[in-house]
């Protein structure tokens, strides 16, 4: 049976909305390293390698995790439109071409589980404020673990005192090692700004003011490279807060994309339940501390992101690039 013009129009609108929702995904340093193409009923998601952080992310791990977050947002948006997206992921997303192709079945369905996350895509924000001194209930943690599992990833809560201490110590070492590199600091300055008209990078309005009084056990990355951070200095990122480690059994580019999908699912599930998260990747970015973290925590998985989850006041949102700059339709 030939698809009617009205159905094609509905599907085209659904794909376009999916691309728009994908642009709201988190990305390393808010680099937004993606491009989208809608052609012949398919949404193509491309990695923009010109936006790779050459010093922090030479392998492209964080870039592909960012693209995975965008892909998951697209899947959620299509679920909200009643479409169980058909996703064809590239076996090697570092090669030329799309990292994923998203197409639609002929007919929508009444309800899909992912659709409930669509309403919180705009509410999800990385939060670098001080978190409330209250535990995250076990049932909430289990729901986040299940979210990661559904995307072929693993999420573990770091609970043992010696594991928390090791995580804090290695995070501090990684943060210090990175900050000792002038090229790293220069790259960080390039992606931070007090210019409120800028549409990428980390804005000063969303970062704590840099000072010696942060009180952090697990250091929040110092994005206040120009000394103009708007948020309070005292962030108290404590090793006693809810710490979760996201990882995968394999460690290759195709899996990093899936890790991004898992990360965004975890973040949206947390947002849906009224929680916020801070993301820490310094300990992952330094090869030495990444391997030591695996050994100290005695985990088989390859870690990709350390998360702090809790409750905190809303933080200003980072801006997004103009749609014509990231989306083309043919």
Domain ranges in the chain?
5-118+322-329, 138-310
| Residue/partner pairs of 209-218 with CB below 8 Å, 24 or more apart | 209/233, 217/168, 218/167, 218/168, 218/171, 218/172, 218/243, 218/280, 218/306, 218/308
Task: Please say whether the structural domain 138-310 has been given the CATH code 3.40.109.10.
Answer: yes
Q: What is the DSSP string of 230-291?
A: -B-S-----TTSEEEEEEESS-SHHHHHHHHHHHHHHHHHHHHTT-EEEEE-HHHHSHHHHH
DSSP state of 201: S
Q: Which of 23, 320, 305, 295 is nearest to 166 (CA)?
A: 295
pLDDT digits (tens, 9 = 90+) for 239-284: 678 999 999 999 999 999 999 999 999 999 999 999 999 999 999 9
Q: Which of 212, 54, 27, 44 is nearest to 126 (CA)?
A: 27
CB atoms within 10 A of CB 175: 22
Structure tokens at 9: 């129009």
Tokens 């943060």 — which residue? 175
Give φ, ψ of 80 to 5 degrees.
-65, -25
Nearest-10 Cα torsion for 254, 257, 261, 262: 70
pLDDT digits (tens, 9 = 90+) for 163-188: 999 999 999 999 999 999 999 999 98
Common-topology check for domains 5-118+322-329 and 138-310: yes
pLDDT digits (tens, 9 = 90+) for 53-74: 999 999 999 999 999 999 999 9
**Under a CB-based contact definition with an 8 Å cutoff, are residues 202 and 196 in contact?**
no
Q: What angle do CA 319, 321, 322 make, to 5 degrees?
A: 120
- Tell me, which fold does domain 5-118+322-329 have in CATH? NADH Oxidase (3.40.109)
pLDDT digits (tens, 9 = 90+) for 132-167: 889 999 999 999 999 999 999 999 999 999 999 999
pLDDT digits (tens, 9 = 90+) for 108-139: 998 899 999 999 999 999 887 888 889 999 99
pLDDT digits (tens, 9 = 90+) for 300-312: 999 999 999 999 9
For the beta sheet containing 34-39, the strands, ordered from the edge strand earlier in sequence to the opposite edge, are 86-89, 100-103, 42-47, 34-39, 327-329
Torsion region of 29: left, alpha or beta (phi above 0 gives left; psi -120 to 50 gives alpha): left
Q: What is the pLDDT at residue 77? A: 98
Q: What is the pLDDT at residue 209? A: 44
């Amino acid at each position: 049976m030939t698809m009617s013009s009205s159905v094609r129009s509905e599907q085209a609108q659904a794909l376009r909305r999916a691309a728009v929702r994908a642009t709201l995904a988190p990305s390393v340093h808010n680099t937004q390293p993606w491009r989208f193409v809608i052609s012949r009923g398919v949404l193509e998601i491309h990695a923009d390698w010109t936006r790779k952080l050459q010093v922090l992310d030479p392998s492209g791990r964080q870039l592909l995790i960012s693209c995975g977050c965008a892909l998951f947002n697209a899947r959620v948006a299509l679920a909200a439109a009643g479409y169980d997206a058909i996703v064809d992921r590239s076996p090697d997303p570092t090669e030329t071409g799309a990292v994923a192709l998203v197409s639609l079945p002929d007919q929508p369905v009444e309800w899909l589980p992912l659709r409930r996350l669509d309403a919180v895509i705009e509410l999800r924000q990385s939060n670098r404020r001080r978190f409330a001194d209250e535990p995250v209930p076990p049932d909430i943690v289990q729901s986040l673990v299940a979210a990661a599992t559904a995307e072929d990833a693993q999420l573990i809560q770091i609970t043992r005192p010696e594991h928390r201490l090791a995580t804090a110590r290695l995070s501090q070492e990684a943060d210090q090692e990175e900050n000792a590199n002038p090229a790293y600091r220069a790259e960080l300055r390039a992606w931070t700004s007090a210019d409120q008209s800028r549409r990428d990078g980390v804005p000063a309005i969303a970062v704590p003011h840099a000072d010696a009084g942060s009180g952090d056990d697990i250091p929040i990355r110092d994005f206040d490279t120009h000394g103009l951070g708007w948020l309070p200095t005292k962030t108290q990122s404590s090793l006693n807060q809810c710490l979760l480690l996201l990882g995968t059994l394999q460690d290759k580019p195709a899996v990093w994309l899936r890790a991004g999908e898992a990360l965004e699912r975890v973040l949206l599930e947390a947002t849906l339940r009224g929680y916020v998260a801070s993301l820490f990747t310094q300990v992952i970015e330094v090869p030495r501390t990444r391997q030591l973290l695996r050994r100290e925590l005695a985990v088989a998985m390859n870690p990709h992101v350390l998360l702090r989850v809790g409750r905190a006041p809303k933080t200003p949102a980072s801006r997004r690039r103009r749609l014509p700059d990231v989306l083309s339709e043919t």
